[in-house]
Amino acid sequence: MEASLKFHSLLSFALILALSTPRESASEYSFTTELVRIDTPNSSDPYQHVVNAFRRSISRAHRLSQNSAGTLAMPPGVLTNSDGSFTMNMSIGNPPAPFVGIADTGSDLIWTQCEPCLQCFDQASPVFDPSMSSTYEVIMCETPLCNALLPYSFCGPDLDLFCMNSNSYGDGSYTYGNIATENFILGYVSGQPVNAILLFECGHMNGGTFTKVTDGIIGLGGGPVSLVSQLSDDTGGRFSYCLVPLGSTTKTSKLNFGANAEVGGDGAVSTPLIQRDDQKTFYYLYLEAVSVDNRRIDFPPGGPSPDQGNIIIDSGTSLTLLPQDFYSQIEAAVIESVQLPRVNDPSQTLSLCFQVATEVNLPFLTFHFNGADVRLPALNAFVLIAQNVLCLTLGPSPTALYGNVAQTNFLVGHDIPNKIVSFKPVDCTLF
């Protein structure tokens, strides 16, 4: 009976949670975990982490554009697959083993490298060995669950094989493994572990540009197999995050689920959350205009309607990227407002940079979403990318993305059942 309950729950993409203390309803269930930036300051080069983060943004924009023609140059050495901005620490199996995954709102499936490792990239922690775990259960071909997971799963010609998954990326990186369920420790509440039986891919062949500090990916997108969706029965489909500034070294960002994810009170604004039927993974918003101080620049006409959305909100992208013509108008308004000598970005990554010698007055940028005006202080729109070189953290791209530098020091909440994204300005280092 226990196994049948587990499979029925997964078949409907629900979740079995095991907490140490009982709860009366999903609205009372919550936990918080940490997000750690992949790029951190280096004393020998205090600006390199900024360059790395922005190059990842360009790479990510190309991946999310799904090979559409782009306008962004690809700088030498750009990273092209492990291009998220944050990692998330969990434990997997019984007994628990560490799992460090890229927290990715641009993908769905959770996966990690597994033994036997036929081909794996180097990782700092030991590769997960499912044979050592008492809670690991492989999903077989020609079962209702495997069939229900299409297109995330497939079977080989021999129907006795395991239910499999294969993901490939534009740069040739890939993961290949079997679909399984396993016990994960997601976080702690009052010192007690929050456990969840989750569907994931146990990757036996993985390669490409993944970095040593990560073991795989934790999908936070809107598709049915993401961590967010698998937790939705117990979290009410709500999550939020509070991202510390790019150069912070003493504080980590926070990711909240359930009741902890509430965003409200003074200063909070909300806009419709849009999930397209053909792209459930991505969280779309509708951007009406951007203002540079008091000069309003409308989003170009002729694009998607408000009920389709025209910009993806993505915590994994550092830059905010906009259509070329729209970006060019914003850039011109910023140049007129700042009135400093222009210089080229020495890293050849960003489009608009200025020479600065002392503190300067910088314009506020306001993003006018449908029903919500989000006013960005200078910290969210400009960054020092080299000594005395200040750059705008916006750029041109065929796919519009609202990046995480713009979201810094905002509590950003996603309420999926009510289809709302909320923003509240806060000091995220105090959380």
Q: Which of 83, 104, 345, 415 is catalytic?
A: 104
Question: Could you tell me the CA-to-CA distances from 152 to 110, 136, 145, 163, 400 in Å, in that order?
Answer: 11, 19, 11, 10, 26
Whether 314 is catalytic is: yes
**Own/partner pairs for 297-304, CB < 8 Å, 24+ apart?**
297/326, 297/329, 297/330, 297/333, 299/326, 300/325, 300/326
Spatial separation of the C-alpha atoms in residues 112 and 121, rounded to whole Å? 11
The Cα diameter of the chain in Å comes to 72
Instruction: Count other Cβ atoms within 10 Å, centred on residue 385.
Output: 20
What gap in Å lies between CA 174 and CA 169, rounded to an integer? 6
Please state the three-class secondary structure of 222-236 as a single string. CCCCCHHHHCHHHHC
| Residue 179 to residue 161: CA distance in whole angstroms | 11
Give the rounded distance of the alpha carbon of 61 from its chain centre.
12
Cα(406)–Cα(54) distance, integer angstroms: 13
Is residue 104 flagged as an active site residue?
A: yes
Catalytic residue among 39, 108, 314, 415: 314
Helix (H) or strand (E) holding 252: none
Give the single-character DSSP code of 82. Answer: S
- Establish how many alpha carbons lie within 13 A of residue 117's alpha carbon, considering only the half-sphere containing its beta carbon: 16
Cα 246 to Cα 379: distance, rounded to the nearest angstrom: 9
The span from the CA of 267 to the CA of 320, in Å, is: 22
CA distances from 312 to 123, 399, 405 (A): 30, 8, 14
Distance CA 10, CA 229 (A): 11
Known catalytic residues?
104, 314
